[in-house]
Each structure stands twice: as C-alpha cells, then as structure tokens.
Structure 1
Amino acid sequence: MDAEDVVATMKRILDPATGSRARTSLSMVEGVSASDPTTVEFKLNISYAGFADIFADRQLRIVAKDKLAELSTQPIGTGPFMFKSWSPGDRLELVKNPDYFEKGLPKLDGATLRIIPESAARMAALESGAIDIVWSMPYEAVDKLKTSATARADSVSTPTWDGVILNNDRPPFNDVRVRKALALTIDKAAIVELALFGQGEPTFSPIPPSHPYFNKALKVGAPDIAQAKKLLAEAGFPNGFDVPMQVPQEREQRVRVGVAVRDMARAAGIRINVERVPFASYTANVAGKAQIYVDGYFARPTIDTAIYPFYHSSGSWNKQLWIYKDARVDQLLDDARKTNDEAARKAIFEKFQAIAEETVPGIIAYSAAHVNGVSKKVEGFKSTPMQWLELKSVSIKP
C-alpha cells in the first residue's frame, strides 16, 4: 500500500457517482493528492480539528488502486483475513492473511460467515455447536443463554440509538410545546424492557452514557402526563390530536418502540395510529415527509460524524429527519470542529445536549447494547461498540 492507493480510495468515496455513505464524513475535503509514495495531502475547506479521527470509519479503509473496479466481487485489503469465496445467500469464506502486519495474528486459519435468515435457527445452530458465533443475536434470546451449557451472550454498550423522529417543519411538531408534551408521556426505562428486553440504557442524548462527553448533569425524566396535557392545551390541542406514525415493518425492535409510544401517548390525548411500512421503501416514504416515525442510527466512529450531520441545520441527515434548526446548536457544532482542546470540546458537546434536551428535535429512547452469541469453545472474542465482527484474536478450544 502506498500514497496513490490512499488517493484513489478517497477520490472514489468523494465521487458522487459512487454513492458512498462515507462521503458525508469527507464533506470538508476539497482535494487529495500524493506528494511522495508515503505522503498524502488533503486540502480542507474548513478548519477541522478531528480530521485524523474520521479514518477510524470502516468505510474509509484503503484499497488497492488497481483493484477498485473488482471490489464488489474480489475484495482486497490489509486486514487479518483474505477473501476466498462468496456464495450469494449462503456464505462468505475467508482465509488467513500470512502477511498481516500484527505478529502472531490472526490465530485462526480461516473463517466462514454463514447467512441463516431465521433467528431461531441461528440460535439453535449456536447451541448445537454447528456455528461458533451469532453476530447481533436477538435480544429476546439473551436470558436463555444464561443457563446454556454450550454458549453465552457477550454484550457491550454502543452509541447506536433508536427513537421517535419528529418533523420540526410540519404541524403539529413544528411547535416545541407539542414535541415536549409527547416526550413527557414516554417511560424510556419501560421501552428498554419492551423493545430491547433490557439490553440497553434509557437516554435523552445521541451521545451515549458511556462516552466522556455525555452530559451527566442531565437526567432521563419520568413521565408527567399532567404537564404534557398542559403543554398541549397551550399549543391549541386541549383535546389532544390524531397522528399517523410509521414504523419499519421488518424491524421488530423499532415496531415495539412505536407500539409502546402509541400506548403511552394515549394518556395525554395524543392518539397515534401505527402504520407498518416495508423497510425497502421506508426511507423514501418517511424521510423529510412523515410527521412522526420511528428510526434509529448505528454508531459512528467520531463524535462529529455522530452529531454534526444529524443536528446542524446544514447536516445531510438532519434534512431527512427532524429538519431541526437552532442557531446556537449550529454555532456550537461549528466551534467543536475547530478546537483540539479536549476540555473545550467536552464543554461544547455538553451545552449541545442541554439545548437538544430543551428543544426536543426528536426523542432518543435509548442507547442499545450490541449482543453476540458466542460458543463457550471460543476464546479471545470481544464484542465492539462499533458492532464490527473482530476475529483476529479469536481461537477455538478443541
């Protein structure tokens, strides 16, 4: 790998025709070039203190410049394993990379990633010993593994969140009093139990409780139906209102969130009709259009990529979600990009969380745990907050 590989990879991601989701992470890049075989120069259009951090994103990993056209069928990289074969709908086979740069790794000679569509079949295969790891096992199966002789659940906190997306640009949720009223009806601790079977933490923030920038001075509030009704009356809805809420049909976890919110909001007079929408067309049907819907977002590698696109008024995800505009938030997030001082950045993001809690662009219900099912013969495996499947340190007991 040399600088030209880096340049080719970055240009591919930056090209709109590629359609890379990682392009958002490089929005500050105006140009990229190689000055010598080991030096890459990036020209940025803004001051961006955390630029080096964004390369922790798996979607920004470097690939060989002469293999870009073959990437979808013959992937190549610098990781611990190499591509062997791919059977669509069945399995991906990997073999050990003998030239991997970390001495003694990987420990396995290879790995097979199988596709087993039914969650019950996956768990049965794990407990029978037919497979060694179930990536992202169903939350409802965690308790059963507590008494299993052959497998265990391995859990880690993550920045991944689910919540209620409110369109701040359309009635009735363009009124902050209505948004606050809905938030006051929701028992987030109960939703963690109902939607995640207890595998998560109730929160108010897209910054997870485990993060050093989490604002510990703010607390998850208890439901207050009387105050919710008062705010609705002030907003012109003394008798509440009816509203349709979309949920992704094949994402049962989020369906459970929607049903729980519907049932909780009813006490304040907010009458929600839950509509299941096929996931394949979900974003096209709801993004920037629906008044209220349930969605969620996976962990991002940096605090800026997790917050700026979602809450800055110019943010690409914000324009598809809540269409939220607050000049104070814009200024804070712009300032955060410019400072390297950790204490200053922490203070900035704590202020951001306080404003977001006050203005309720949407309702973050919880920070979800990532849980993998693991055979008790497996050693060296750890679940990761980014939900990546890390196998380089794994070995299997006889």
Structure 2
Amino acid sequence: MKRGQDHYNVKPIGNGAFIFKEWVRGSHVTLVRNPDYWDQGKPHVDELIFRIIPDAGARSVALETGALHYAPLTPVSLIEAKRLAQNPNIVLETRGWEANAPMFFFDFNLRKPVFQDIRVRQAVAHAINREVLAKAVFQGFATPATGPVPSYQKQFYTPDTQQYPFDPAKAEQLLDAAGHKRGPDGVRLRFNHLNHTYGDEYKRAGELFQQQLKRIGIELTLVNYDLPTYLRKIFSDHDFDTMNSFYAAFADPQIGVHRRFWTKAIIPGAAWSNGSGYSSPEMDAIIEATHAEVDPAKRQKLIHQMQQLAQKDLPSISLLELKFFRLYSKRLQGINVTPIGVYASLADASFKA
C-alpha cells in the first residue's frame, strides 16, 4: 500500500448527514447531502465545502466577503475576532466549547531543584496578574481561574481552594525566605519559558510573564519552537524550566484534569500528560479513588479534594478559563450551541432566505 493512497483514508464511507464527494489536496474537501440519512428532511443544505485556508488574514477576508460562511475552532487572532464581531453580517459565538473546557496554565519543570521549593512556585503565582492576562492578552476571551477545574462545571467545581492573588510584595518575601536574594544586577533567578505554539496570544502571555516576573527579580528568557519541538522538549526530553499551554479539562476531570497531576501520567513522549513531573502519593490516592468510586456524592468530594491539593501543592498555576469561539455568517442558522456544539453535526444548518 503506497503512502497517501489508502482508500480507507482518501475515500471514506459514512452514514451521517453528509457523505464524502472529493478531496483536492491543499484546496478543499467536499461533502454532499446523504439521501439515505435517517432523520427525514435533513440536512437542509446540499453541499459542504471545507476550504483549506492556512493564512488567518485570508480567513478574515473570506468571512467578510461572504466567501466563507462558517469558521469554527478559533479561526483568527483574538484581536481580529473582536473586529469581525463588529460586522453586522458576522456572528461571534463562544458557546459550544463547554465540553472541551479549555484552560490556560503556567507549568514548572519539577525535576529542577529550584522549583522543588514551593515558595518559588508560590512567588511566581503571586507575581502574575490574571486580570491583566485575561483582558489585555486574551482580549476578554478568558476569565481568571481559581483552580484546575472550570467554574462552570458546577457538579465538579469547588471555590474552596487556596488562592494566590496578585501581590508582588508577597512574591518578593517568598523569594527572600527561599534564599534567593537580588544580585548586583537586581536578578534573583534566571530561567527559560517555552511559549505554546497555537497563537500569538501565547507569545504575548510569555511577554507579560517576563515583565511581571522581572519586577520581583526573576529574569525570564522566552523560547518559541514549532509544535513538534515544543512537545518533544517538554514531554520527551524534559528540557525546559517553565512553559505555558492550555489543556482541555473536558466534561469530567477524570478525562482531562487528572492526567496533569497523576504519577501514572508521567509517560515519556505522551503529549498533554503530566509534563511537570509532579508526583504525590496523596494526589495519586485521591485520583485513583475517584476512578473507582461510583457514588456521585462521594466522587464529587474526591474531585474537590483533588482541586484543593493541586492548589496547595501548586505544581502548576491554573491561570485562566479560556473562551474559544466560532465565527459565521448571520445568514446561517441552526448552528449547534450545546456544550459540544463545535463538533456537532451540521444537519440542522440552513440559510435564511
């Protein structure tokens, strides 16, 4: 079988609302209405064309001109999204991501002795202004987090966790207590910081961290890699000091959150697992008890304990609850806005007359 010529990949068969018609490499994928779809009368459109537009600027133009009707998965920069939202012919929708539950965080490499002192981690947490991060860097498409579980997951979330409010003076006291005095150049510590690769906002977040940590005597060197190198440095080589990223908490902490704090999730080469190297017998016991518990009330209590210990031990700083978005034509109706709407069928989609 020649690579790229597997018929199972290039001519897929499905039984959804739309069926495969063609794939033109580098250009588009076309799906057409399934005449045998089980839900009679649907879908409402005859054809879906998924255009491949690598450049975000070109995607913006296509939305404004009407050449593109639907753009999910945070298709443009945050600043550009705010501009497009002012266009009366374009809808910006942040609903539909709740089941993914994206969260932004700052991670430490706990294999490094300097970060094994919790006072250093606490100092960094107190030095970061989450409000500025949410408003200035993420353009309001985020709210400050209080822990690793998003606040809108009411059945799992608890606000009863240790917090680290913005307090540079407290941060300096912690570093003094940890023995990291300012040198003649005013610097206490130097370490690198790997920025996530998914958008300019992650680079700007790194720049904000750099500015705010400088205030307390920490010199942060920013590093920008391509995605494969970024993942290898963190999850395979463990060759980093600190980094920023986002993770999907998903609809249940057992799916998305536990992997960040479970010793068994320290798996070399496994992206989006326990990259910090955090290992705690107490945390492992809580997580594994949660996996085995079937009583909802007892399970909720265990998940609350997990959040409380994560905030107490602070192997990672949970900074923001992110609001990913979709952009689409105001003429388009029937777009699913349920918690998993961004991945839902387009069987209900249609155009207003």
TM-score scaled to structure 2, two decimals?
0.86
State the Cα distance separating 1:77 from its structure 2 match. 3.3
Distance 1:392 1:303, change over 3 A: farther
The reply on whether 1:194 has 2:149 as its aligned counterpart is: no
State the Cα distance separating 1:335 from its structure 2 match. 1.0
Distance 1:380 1:266, change over 3 A: same
State the Cα distance separating 1:235 from its structure 2 match. 1.9
Residue-by-residue CA offset, 1:48-102 (whole Å, 9 max, x unaligned): xxxxxxxxxxxxxxxxxxxxx6432222333322121112221111112233333
2:125/2:164 contact within 8 Å kept: no
Gaps of 5+ in 2: 1-5, 183-187
CA distance in 2, matches of 1:123, 1:219: 42
Q: Name 1:394's counterpart in structure 2.
A: 349
The reply on whether 1:164 has 2:101 as its aligned counterpart is: no
2:259/2:274 contact within 8 Å kept: no
Matching residue's letter, 2:259:
P
Q: Name 2:185's counterpart in structure 1.
A: none
Aligned length: 330
Gaps of 5+ in 1: 1-68
Residue-by-residue CA offset, 1:255-286 (whole Å, 9 max, x unaligned): 11111111111121111011222223211123
Matches within 5 A, 1:41-52: none
Distance 1:209 1:152, change over 3 A: same
Q: Name 1:229's counterpart in structure 2.
A: 172
CA distance in 1, matches of 2:39, 2:164: 47
Q: Name 1:25's counterpart in structure 2.
A: none
The reply on whether 1:113 has 2:50 as its aligned counterpart is: yes
Q: Name 2:295's counterpart in structure 1.
A: 341
Q: Name 1:155's counterpart in structure 2.
A: 94
CA distance in 2, matches of 1:266, 1:390: 48
Match of 1:242 among 190, 199, 211: 190
Matches within 5 A, 1:174-185: 174-185=116-127
CA distance in 1, matches of 2:128, 2:260: 22
* RMSD of aligned Cα (Å): 2.2
State the secondary structure of the residue aligned to 1:314.
helix
Match of 1:74 among 4, 7, 11: 11
CA distance in 1, matches of 2:84, 2:133: 22
CA distance in 1, matches of 2:162, 2:348: 38
Residue-by-residue CA offset, 1:324-361 (whole Å, 9 max, x unaligned): 11122111111111122222222111111111111111
Q: Name 2:317's counterpart in structure 1.
A: 363
TM-score scaled to structure 1, two decimals?
0.77
CA distance in 2, matches of 1:260, 1:343: 40
Distance 1:391 1:102, change over 3 A: same
State the Cα distance separating 1:166 from its structure 2 match. 0.7
CA distance in 2, matches of 1:146, 1:370: 14
State the secondary structure of the residue aligned to 2:35.
coil
Larger relative CO (CA 8 A, sep 6+): 1 or 2?
A: 2
Matching residue's letter, 1:209:
S
2:120/2:178 contact within 8 Å kept: yes
CA distance in 2, matches of 1:319, 1:371: 25
Distance 1:282 1:384, change over 3 A: farther
State the Cα distance separating 1:146 from its structure 2 match. 3.8
State the Cα distance separating 1:383 from its structure 2 match. 4.5
Match of 2:199 among 229, 240, 251: 251
Q: Name 1:89's counterpart in structure 2.
A: 26
CA distance in 1, matches of 2:131, 2:24: 42
The reply on whether 1:216 has 2:155 as its aligned counterpart is: no
State the secondary structure of the residue aligned to 2:116.
coil
Matching residue's letter, 2:26:
G
Residue-by-residue CA offset, 1:142-193 (whole Å, 9 max, x unaligned): 3323431211211125411222121112121122111111011111121112
Matching residue's letter, 2:262:
H
1:168/1:175 contact within 8 Å kept: no
Q: After alignment, is 200-209 or 367-376 more displaced?
A: 200-209
